Amino acid sequence: MDETIAGTETAQIPKQRGESLQDTAVRYAEERHWDVFPGTWLEAVDGVQRCSCGEAACPVPGAHPAREDWATQATGSATVARRLWAKQPTASILLPTGRTFDAIDVPETAGFLALARMERMELTLGPVTCTPDRRMHFFVLPGASAKVSDLVRKLGWPPASLDLVALGEGSYVAGPPTRYGSQGAVQWARRPTPANRWLPDAEELISPLAYACGREGRR
């Protein structure tokens, strides 16, 4: 699957290596019209990278909202995004779901299994991220969170039996290259490109995703 992660297309969002978090956040707003907001960041404490929230046992250090009203802070303006990251250049890049996209969250092993199957089926895919805690997020059209349970049920799976959830309004995903403490950085399994600007509906992807999650759940 390395070829999938690296990608062979010219990405609309350029390589992020060496690019500041501010520049990347601005590109998400400017080129993809995604809302963005700055989250927490990492601070060195006694030589250890700790989350700016101050919680020593933070489960996602440096990669969660820094304030409760984050939804009102999220912006699709490149100008505002530049100003927000100017205040805290190392803040994580968080992308609210339920606006320009929802995200289907699955385990990494099931996600790569489903991704391979989708490619064989020649399905239209949107961007897909891999997180350091071994999750994958498939970007789909807004509205997925309201219907995924019914779609899964129609396929014969009790929704609670699958490790699959749709993130919609009130949720968010971390955008590459946000880091989770010392675990590593979020990266693209499928990069944003001009070809995948138009996102698929959850209904188009749910069968291979549910199958892969069900298979993983039986192991």
Residue 14 CA to residue 11 CA, distance in Å, equals 6
pTM of the model: 0.90
Tens of pLDDT, residue by residue over 91-144, are 999 999 999 999 999 999 999 999 999 999 999 899 999 999 999 999 999 999
Amino acid at 154: K
Quick check: 36 and 93 in contact, CB under 8 A?
yes
Hey, which residues does 75 pair with through a beta bridge?
Answer: 36
At 7 the pLDDT is 35
At 13 the pLDDT is 52
Query: Between helices 21-31 and 78-87, what is the axis angle to 10°?
Result: 160
Q: How confident is the model at residue 17 (pLDDT cuts 50, 70, 90)?
A: low
- Nearest of 43, 17, 14 to residue 26 by alpha carbon: 14
Cα–Cα distances in angstroms (integers) from residue 88 to residues 66, 81, 93, 172, 177, in the given order: 11, 11, 11, 19, 16
Kindly tell me if the per-residue pLDDT of 1 is higher than 80.
no
Query: What average pLDDT score do residues 156-174 get?
Result: 95
Quick check: 202 and 144 in contact, CB under 8 A?
yes
Kindly tell me if the per-residue pLDDT of 2 is higher than 80.
no
Tokens 């500041």 appear where?
20
Tens of pLDDT, residue by residue over 41-58, are 999 888 888 999 999 899
Per cent of the chain over pLDDT 90 is 83
Two structure tokens written together for 69: 């009203």
Amino acid at 65: P
Kindly tell me if the per-residue pLDDT of 31 is higher than 60.
yes
Tokens 């509205």 appear where?
143
Tens of pLDDT, residue by residue over 47-101, are 888 999 999 899 999 999 999 999 999 999 999 999 999 999 999 999 999 999 9
At 49 the pLDDT is 86
